[in-house]
Structure 1
Amino acid sequence: MQESTANQVAANATSSFTEHLQRDRPELLPNNRALPVGPGPATPLQVPHATTIVAMSYAGGVLMAGDRRATMGNVIASRHIEKVFPADQYSVLGIAGTAGIAIDLTRLFQVELEHYEKIEGTLLSLDGKANRLGAMIRGNLPMALQGLAVVPLFAGFDTTAGVGRLFSYDVTGGRYEEREHHTVGSGSVFARGALKKLWRPNLTEAEAVSVAVESLYDAADDDSATGGPDPVRQLWPVVYTVNRTGARRVPESELATVAGNIIEARSSARREA
């Protein structure tokens, strides 16, 4: 009897935590939640949305940064939201779109990678991580068709190849590898324009941090849904770097200095003009 039970447990074991939930507790998946009934079919559901994320390669790794603002229609829903998270030791995830679902997907993805490592005894490859994230986004497609889309950026250090890599997605889960830099969210057009002028190959880590903060500053200047550095409230972007030593969150003290230098340089340029 015990042997039969052990065989059954082994047969049900899977290295994918998402597959485990789909089989045993599908109601816990973010894309299986029930939507509230609105006053009419033409009335959009008002929920907080996360906006601008930027990512880029630099000499020895990749960097990802996100502003701190979430909006709900024309209202600022939060000035403190975090949109960039460590996925595991060697990768990070940035979210844009419906904030609640995006955060749930991020937590599920973190557990997915941790579960794989515990079951298999090794880290999932960077391509494997990118593919599993695409499958999760694809599972959210019915919600996306109802206006609750999630569009992330994923970046990590490929320990096999010894390089940092960056992946973008569409709402269907399509995966695309980006070679230099990429942006998502409502301010992405303005941030991308800044990156095209500021980014160059083989940036140092410190230079990449400065470029990321300045591109978010430019995005906030033209996009009301993007929050720029806020010295009054002491609010700075969330910035992660990933290299062969792992993922590191850039300290707020360092970001305050970088943002202060950018603001001072622009103020001086205006005074001289």
Structure 2
Amino acid sequence: MQESTANKVAANATSSFTEHLQRDRPELLPFNRPGQGGATAAAPPQVPHATTIVAMSYSGGVLMAGDRRATMGNVIASRHIEKVFPADRYSVLGIAGTAGIAIDLTRLFQVELEHYEKIEGTLLSLEGKANRLGAMIRGNLPLALQGLAVVPLFAGFDTSAGVGRLFSYDVTGGRYEEHEHHTVGSGSVFARGALKKLWRPNLSAEEAVSVAIEALFDAADDDSATGGPDTVRRLWPVVYTVDSTGTRRVAEEQLAAASLSVIEARTVAGREA
């Protein structure tokens, strides 16, 4: 009997935590909760939305940054939300779209990667991580059709190739590898315009931080759903870098200095205009 039980457990074992939940406890998945399924619902509820995320490559790694504002219609729902998270030791995830579902999917993705490492005894490849995230986004498609979409950015350091890589997605889970830089969210058009002018190959990590803040500043200038650096409340973007040493959250002091430098330069330019 013990051998039969062990065989059963082995047969049911999977390196995917999401597959495990889908099989045994599907109601715990963010996109399978009661009242959240089906595409026939009326207007989507008013819920907080998170924007804007920028990401770019730099010499030796990748950087991802997000502003701190969440909106609900014409109301600022939060000035303190965080939209960029470490997925594991060598990757980061930025979220745009319906904030609650996006944060739940982020947590599930973090557990997915941790579960894989425990079962397999090794890290999942960066390509594998990107594919698994796409499958999770695809699972949220019924809610996306109701207006509750989640559109992430994913970036990490590919330890096998020794380079940083960046991936974008659509609401169907389609995965696209981006080169140089990319943005998502309501302010993405304005941030992308800034990145086209400011980004260049082989930026240092410090230069990349300044470019990200400039891009978010431009997005906030034209998009009411994006919050720029807030010197009164001392609120700065959330910024992560990923290189061969792993993920690192950029310190508040460095972000404050870079943000104030951008504001001062634009103030001087405005006076001279």
Task: State the TM-score bracket (shorter-chain normalisation).
Answer: over 0.9
Q: Which amino acid aligns with 1:230?
A: D
Q: Partner of 2:163 in structure 1?
A: 163
Q: Which amino acid aligns with 1:91?
A: S
In the alignment, structure 1 residue 105 sits paired with structure 2 residue 105:
yes
Alpha-carbon offset, residue 45 of structure 1: 1.0
Q: Partner of 2:9 in structure 1?
A: 9
Q: Give per-residue Cα distances to partners, 1:139-179, cap 9 Å, x unaligned.
A: 00001001100000000000000000000000000000001
Q: Partner of 1:30 in structure 2?
A: 30
Structural mapping, 1:204-219, within 5 Å? 204-219=204-219
Q: Partner of 1:224 in structure 2?
A: 224
Q: Partner of 2:89 in structure 1?
A: 89
Alpha-carbon separation, structure 2, partners of 1:36 and 1:4: 38
Alpha-carbon separation, structure 1, partners of 2:209 and 2:145: 35
Q: Give per-residue Cα distances to partners, 1:220-273, cap 9 Å, x unaligned.
A: 000000000000000000000000000000001100000000000011111222
Runs (5+) with no aligned partner, structure 2: none
Alpha-carbon separation, structure 2, partners of 1:41 and 1:143: 9
Task: Name the SS of the counterpart of 2:151 in structure 1.
Answer: coil
Alpha-carbon offset, residue 34 of structure 1: 2.7
Alpha-carbon separation, structure 2, partners of 1:156 and 1:270: 38
Alpha-carbon separation, structure 2, partners of 1:25 and 1:239: 34
Q: Partner of 2:245 in structure 1?
A: 245
Q: Which amino acid aligns with 1:114?
A: E
Task: Name the SS of the counterpart of 1:4 in structure 2.
Answer: helix
Q: Which amino acid aligns with 2:156?
A: G
Alpha-carbon separation, structure 2, partners of 1:191 and 1:90: 25
TM-score (norm 2): 0.97
Alpha-carbon offset, residue 36 of structure 1: 7.3
Q: Give per-residue Cα distances to partners, 1:46-104, cap 9 Å, x unaligned.
A: 00000100000000000000000000000000000000000000000000000000000
Alpha-carbon separation, structure 1, partners of 2:198 and 2:22: 44
Alpha-carbon separation, structure 2, partners of 1:32 and 1:65: 30
In the alignment, structure 1 residue 122 sits paired with structure 2 residue 97:
no
Identity between Structure 1 and Structure 2 (%):
86
Q: Give per-residue Cα distances to partners, 1:191-241, cap 9 Å, x unaligned.
A: 000000000000000000000011000000000000000000000000000
Alpha-carbon separation, structure 2, partners of 1:185 and 1:137: 16
Task: Name the SS of the counterpart of 1:96 in structure 2.
Answer: strand
Q: Give per-residue Cα distances to partners, 1:117-147, cap 9 Å, x unaligned.
A: 0000000000000000000000000010011
Alpha-carbon offset, residue 41 of structure 1: 6.0
Q: Is the 8 Å Cα contact of residues 157 and 163 (structure 2) preserved in structure 1?
A: yes
Alpha-carbon separation, structure 1, partners of 2:151 and 2:218: 21
Aligned residues: 271
Alpha-carbon offset, residue 42 of structure 1: 5.0
Alpha-carbon separation, structure 2, partners of 1:272 and 1:176: 43
Q: Which amino acid aligns with 2:105?
A: L
Q: Which amino acid aligns with 1:46?
A: Q
Alpha-carbon separation, structure 1, partners of 2:31 and 2:241: 30
Shift >2 Å, 4+ stretches: 34-37, 40-44
Alpha-carbon offset, residue 43 of structure 1: 3.6
Runs (5+) with no aligned partner, structure 1: none
TM-score (norm 1): 0.97
Q: Is the 8 Å Cα contact of residues 27 and 34 (structure 2) preserved in structure 1?
A: no
Alpha-carbon separation, structure 2, partners of 1:140 and 1:208: 32
Q: Which amino acid aligns with 2:265?
A: A
Alpha-carbon separation, structure 2, partners of 1:126 and 1:42: 38
Q: Is the 8 Å Cα contact of residues 52 and 184 (structure 2) preserved in structure 1?
A: yes
Q: Which amino acid aligns with 1:62?
A: V
Task: Name the SS of the counterpart of 1:95 in structure 2.
Answer: strand
Structural mapping, 1:35-114, within 5 Å? 35=35, 43-114=43-114
Q: Give per-residue Cα distances to partners, 1:16-53, cap 9 Å, x unaligned.
A: 0000000000000000123379xx96543100000100
Q: CA RMSD in A?
A: 1.3
